[in-house]
Chain A
Amino acid sequence: MRFRAGIENVTTLFRIIQSVEKLQKKCIIKFTEDNMHVICNSDANEGGIQVWSQIKIDSIFNSYRIQSNSNNEITVNLSCDALMGALKSASTSAGTSNSTSGSTYETDEVIVKLAKKNDQAVLNFEITGTTRAGRKVKIEHDVKIEVMKPADVAKLNEPMCPEPDIHVLLPSLQKIRTIVERLRSMSDILAVRASHNGCLQLSINTESVKVDTEWKNCTIPQMMREGASQDSADDDPPDPEHLFSVLVSVRSFLKFLSSHVVSTTTIACVCQNHCLILYVYIGDVADAGGVLTFYIPAIIDDE
């Protein structure tokens, strides 16, 4: 089993881990020949929120080499915190790490490789940099990992979801976050609604207060239906006014919103009475370096 790569885009990787870290302490990273998958699927997650992501190797790594007995794939389980620590010292712009720690060096190269130290599998980060005075510095981080068995990897399955009722392009996540943070103090449940005429609503409804925040003229991307032929041609065009809605936990939604650090474009899909799916694109949609997919299960209201 061999793995070695140079990390070119440290900031992006750092931000991806940062947005996932809010969900759970440990995450699974699966490296394949073309993609890196960051997965959070622990049952212990509050509200059952899951993240499945797919990031193109080219958008983060260079000189990427991977070899293994199971189809050249390596799946590891590691602590987000430790990984963030390593990336922090590798990144000159990720957060304010360098200014706070007082070290002032420019990162020249970051190499990550799979290694074994004292019978413990680690991801070894080797950071070389130059200080202001022109001296070379070398920093090494070992992040303890647990390599997952192919049999266990095979058991990892993305949640099954029905065909979404509607897709909607979300406004800036930062703005949504300000609003949802205010709502959190008033309610635990948030309703997300969207209609085909571009209306998006975030609502809460409690005994003492009822709040609807509405965006108009959101873009509704027309999705290519898989197996369009099966769809009967005389399918009525959807009522543009009809709001498709799903109830989710406010806390889970806020956890998803912490991905605003990495997002450029986000598409939300409402599967009524099932879940809310959020595709967070890293980089342009057209030339996406990858996508983080958040699944937030619906709360079924008995009323």
Chain B
Amino acid sequence: MSQAEILPVLKASVHDVRYFSALLRGVNFANRATVTVTEKGLLVVVEESRTLLGTAYIFSDVFDEFIYNPETPENKGSQPEQPTDEEELVSAFEIPLNNLLELLNIFGTAGGSVSAKHGRFKAWQKPGDELDDDDSDGGGEGEGDQQEGRANKKKSGQFFGSGSERKTGMRLTYIGPGYPLTVIVAEDATGPTTTCEIATFDAESHLELPFDSEQMVLKIILKSSWLRDALSELDPSCDKLTFIGNPASEPDAGLHPVKQRRIRMQDAPNFRIEATGTFGNTEMDYPNDRDVLESFECETPVKFSYRFSHIARTIRALQTSVKTSLRIDNEGLLSLQFLMPTPVSRMHQGKGTSNFIEFRCLALEEDA
């Protein structure tokens, strides 16, 4: 028992925090974040106004070292009905996310901080965009495995091509409930070392927004840049954003291709984003073209509205991501999944799991 107590619940380290902090930055819209630790990695959950839920899935191979020792239930004897073994062991705590991000960037080398210039984002996107062109036939989440090898080779060259740039390394320790999260940050052997203790809080239950894929009414997979450009075009004063999907019409196969296209243009658009604000409306249509919408599934016409300020929270994650999956279920629950570029870590040379950030957002109640 005493042996187990000495073992910290979580120990992780990485030689370059840029990837890690980019993932965290994607969900940095409210200060309090719940971190759930599992064997596989970290789950960072942030929520806003009981409507928007942001989750960053950070798999253990983002880190050079990742050791998780599940907490030993202290009162095993008194409570015989302890969670059985089949249940996954998890530890959770809450931290001020903003502070953690500031600390990771304490030497100004964690990239793209809130105050830093925009140049860093470009460095990120460049390898990502290239990756995208490579695998035009690649699917969304999950099936990216074969592309990984290729992507990584490219990336390690380009991503860290500017080798002269200094990097911030990090070591993170969490002893257990009641202890702070200790983070040691250093730039290089000669420079200073920063030791931080971030207070942790007991994790409180979060808003649960289960997405029922059985009841899914719209599913779109597209390159993140297509969505990013659309959203960045919108005026920040907008207050409502509507996603409209219409089933793809089956053009008569016998018709001339030119005619087919004309019919397609006249039809209701397959996917439309409509923004409503005090100064007017903006409508943006996406054609059902494989180059734009990699996959499009829609059975019946769909129309759901969301608060623009909530959707705007996703922009930071969208900016760093490669591919986006947009799904809506029959109750209007929106699920946006952003696939992030593959990490390069020392632990898994050339083979990493794709990390992603997911947002779930409830639809606005429409008065009929």
A184-225 interface bits toward B, Cβ cutoff 8 Å, 1 = contact, 0 = none: 011000000000000000000001111111111000000000
B94-130 interface bits toward A, Cβ cutoff 8 Å, 1 = contact, 0 = none: 0010110011011110000001000000000000000
Instruction: Identify the closest chain A residue to B182 (Cβ).
Output: A210
Q: Are B196 and A209 touching (Cβ within 8 A)?
A: yes
Instruction: Identify the closest chain B residue to A177 (Cβ).
Output: B108
Q: Are A211 and B107 touching (Cβ within 8 A)?
A: no
Q: Are B193 and A213 touching (Cβ within 8 A)?
A: yes
CA distance A182 to B103 in the complex (A): 7
Q: Are B196 and A212 touching (Cβ within 8 A)?
A: yes
Q: Are A208 and B193 touching (Cβ within 8 A)?
A: no
Of the candidates B99, B102, B194, B197, the one whose C-beta lies within 8 Å of that of A213 is B194
Of the candidates A181, A207, A211, the one whose C-beta lies within 8 Å of that of B194 is A211
B81-96 interface (Cβ within 8 A of A): 96
CA distance A182 to B108 in the complex (A): 9
A117 contacts the other chain (Cβ, under 8 Å)? no
B158 contacts the other chain (Cβ, under 8 Å)? no
> Shortest CB–CB separation between residue B92 and chain A, in angstroms?
18
A104 contacts the other chain (Cβ, under 8 Å)? no
B158-200 interface (Cβ within 8 A of A): 180, 191-199
CA distance A162 to B79 in the complex (A): 63
Q: Are A209 and B99 touching (Cβ within 8 A)?
A: yes
A261 contacts the other chain (Cβ, under 8 Å)? no
CA distance A178 to B107 in the complex (A): 6
Q: Are A208 and B96 touching (Cβ within 8 A)?
A: yes
CA distance A175 to B106 in the complex (A): 10
Residues of A within 8 A of B103 (CB): 182, 209, 211
CA distance A211 to B199 in the complex (A): 11
A240 contacts the other chain (Cβ, under 8 Å)? no
Residues of B within 8 A of A211 (CB): 103, 106, 194-197
Contact A175-B107, Cβ < 8 Å, known A182-B102, A208-B99: yes
CA distance A182 to B194 in the complex (A): 12
> Shortest CB–CB separation between residue A145 and chain B, in angstroms?
37
Residues of A within 8 A of B99 (CB): 186, 208-209
A137 contacts the other chain (Cβ, under 8 Å)? no
Residues of A within 8 A of B115 (CB): 181
Interface residues on chain A, size class: 10 to 19
A179 contacts the other chain (Cβ, under 8 Å)? yes
A135-183 interface (Cβ within 8 A of B): 171, 175, 178-179, 181-183
CA distance A210 to B194 in the complex (A): 10
Contact A182-B199, Cβ < 8 Å, known A208-B96, A209-B99, A214-B192: no
Q: Are A209 and B106 touching (Cβ within 8 A)?
A: no
Instruction: Identify the closest chain B residue to A211 (Cβ).
Output: B196
CA distance A215 to B195 in the complex (A): 11
Tell me if A's interface is mostly helix, strand, loop or mixed.
mixed
CA distance A242 to B115 in the complex (A): 36
Tell me if B's interface is mostly helix, strand, loop or mixed.
mixed
Residues of A within 8 A of B191 (CB): 175, 215
Residues of A within 8 A of B199 (CB): 207-209
A44-75 interface (Cβ within 8 A of B): none
Residues of A within 8 A of B105 (CB): 182
Q: Are B192 and A210 touching (Cβ within 8 A)?
A: no
CA distance A46 to B92 in the complex (A): 42
Residues of B within 8 A of A185 (CB): 98, 102
Residues of B within 8 A of A178 (CB): 106-108
Residues of A within 8 A of B197 (CB): 209-211
Q: Are A179 and B102 touching (Cβ within 8 A)?
A: no
Q: Are B194 and A212 touching (Cβ within 8 A)?
A: yes
Chain B CB within 10 A, most for which of A182, A212, A214: A182
Residues of B within 8 A of A207 (CB): 199
Contact A209-B192, Cβ < 8 Å, known A178-B108, A182-B103, A186-B102: no
B190-237 interface (Cβ within 8 A of A): 191-199
CA distance A75 to B197 in the complex (A): 50
> Shortest CB–CB separation between residue B165 and chain A, in angstroms?
15
CA distance A267 to B105 in the complex (A): 26
Chain B CB within 10 A, most for which of A171, A210, A213, A214: A213
Instruction: Identify the closest chain A residue to B200 (Cβ).
Output: A208
Residues of B within 8 A of A209 (CB): 96, 99, 103, 196-199
Instruction: Identify the closest chain A residue to B103 (Cβ).
Output: A211
Contact A179-B195, Cβ < 8 Å, known A186-B99, A208-B99, A210-B180: no
Q: Are B196 and A179 touching (Cβ within 8 A)?
A: no
CA distance A178 to B191 in the complex (A): 13
Contact A179-B106, Cβ < 8 Å, known A208-B99, A209-B96, A210-B180: yes
> Shortest CB–CB separation between residue A89 and chain B, in angstroms?
29
Contact A215-B96, Cβ < 8 Å, known A175-B107, A209-B198: no
22 A-B residue pairs with Cβ-Cβ distance under 8 Å, sorted by A, are A175-B191, A175-B192, A178-B106, A178-B107, A179-B106, A183-B106, A208-B199, A209-B103, A209-B198, A210-B180, A210-B196, A210-B198, A211-B103, A211-B106, A211-B195, A213-B192, A213-B195, A214-B192, A214-B193, A214-B195, A215-B191, A216-B193
> 14 extra interchain contacts, Cβ-Cβ under 8 A, other than A179-B194, A215-B191?
A175-B192, A178-B106, A178-B108, A182-B102, A182-B103, A183-B106, A208-B198, A209-B103, A210-B180, A210-B196, A213-B106, A213-B192, A213-B193, A214-B194
